[in-house]
């Protein structure tokens, strides 16, 4: 039997995901700032592309937080 949908802590989990993704994004940007002259352009491009995906994820997480907040007020 499936578990009932418990949305009580969804916003908290989403906030944790946002914080984790932001931390990874910032660490990657710091890495690029510090070592950009020492890494290949391929590695730099991979990191920049991954950071763009992280930004997209953060945007999606924030939209989900808004949806959850609106859903909890119903």
pLDDT for position 74: 62
Look at residue 1 and tell me if it is in a domain.
no
Structure confidence by residue, pLDDT tens digits, 4-58 = 666 778 899 999 999 999 999 999 999 999 999 999 999 999 999 999 999 999 9
pLDDT for position 20: 98
Q: Which domain holds residue 11?
A: 7-72
CA dist., res. 47 & res. 61, Å (int): 21
Dump the DSSP string for 7-31: -TTHHHHHHHHHHHHHHHHHHHHHH
Look at residue 18 and tell me if it is in a domain.
yes
Q: What is the DSSP letter of 3?
A: P
- The total number of structural domains in the chain stands at 1
Look at residue 2 and tell me if it is in a domain.
no
Q: What percent of the chain has pLDDT over 70?
A: 88
């Amino acid at each position: 039997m499936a578990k009932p949908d418990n949305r009580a802590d969804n916003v908290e989990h989403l906030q944790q995901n946002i914080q984790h993704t932001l931390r990874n994004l910032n660490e990657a940007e710091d890495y690029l700032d510090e070592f950009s002259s020492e890494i290949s352009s391929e590695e730099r491009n991979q990191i920049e592309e991954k950071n763009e995906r992280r930004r997209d994820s953060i945007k999606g997480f924030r939209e989900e937080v808004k949806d959850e907040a609106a859903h909890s007020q119903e």
